[in-house]
Each structure stands twice: as structure tokens, then as C-alpha cells.
Amino acid sequence: AQTVTQSQPEMSVQEAETVTLSCTYDTSENNYYLFWYKQPPSRQMILVIRQEAYKQQNATENRFSVNFQKAAKSFSLKISDSQLGDTAMYFCAFLRLEVGSEKLVFGKGTKLTVNP
């Protein structure tokens, strides 16, 4: 079974600075997707960024980028120029790319606080 581990329960960063959230996962699969979801205090689940395992290039979405290290099974999220609105829980998630398996497996989350 796949597992996702987020080793940082809480982190904080000053506004405008850069922060990196860690995520590691365990799988024997070769093809899969990885995601970062954001859950602000309003409790919505918002997709931040996604990565396909067969793509070597790291995904980037504006201020958000990932460092995908497939051999190390690591998928960290970097937030540049942090803003107060980035304060939220961040969840790393894994999805197998295989017929018959459609469930996202989530980590326990990292609570990020951006301080003014």
C-alpha cells in the first residue's frame, strides 16, 4: 500500500520569504501522480500544483514550485514570496496511474503560518 509522510506538522515563515514543505512517499509503482493541496481556515480543498511521475521537469505554478526526486521518493513544495493568504494546511497526495485505482492517498498535513 502507498503511504505519504509529511514530517513537519507545523512551519512558519515571514511574509515575502521562501519556505519549503517536505513530503516523502512509499510506492513500488513507476507511474503515478503527486499533488499538493491547500486547505485554508475556510476548510476548502484547493489544488495547488501537480506532478506526473514520468516527467522529469519539476512543475511550477506562479510562486509555487516542486522539487521532485523520484529515486528518493521525495516531493517538496517551495513557496516563494510568501503571502499572508498562504496561511493554511498543506497536504501532499499520491495517486496511482493504474486502472482500478482511483483513490488519492494523503499525508497528515503541514500547518503553515505566514507572519506579517
Partner 1 sequence: NAGVMQNPRHLVRRRGQEARLRCSPMKGHSHVYWYRQLPEEGLKFMVYLQKENIIDESGMPKERFSAEFPKEGPSILRIQQVVRGDSAAYFCASSPNKGGGSNQPQHFGDGTRLSIL
Closest approach of Cβ 54 to partner 1, in Å? 10
Q: Count the neighbouring beta carbons within 10 Å of the beta carbon of residue 77.
A: 23
- Encoded one letter per residue, x for contact with partner 1 by CB under 8 A and - for no contact, window 55-84 reads ------------------------------
3 binds partner 1 (CB under 8 A): no
Q: How far is CA 25 from CA 17, 54, 80, in A?
A: 27, 16, 23
Rg (CA), the chain: 14
Name the residues that contact partner 1, by CB under 8 A: 4, 33, 35, 37, 42-47, 50-52, 91, 95, 97, 99-109
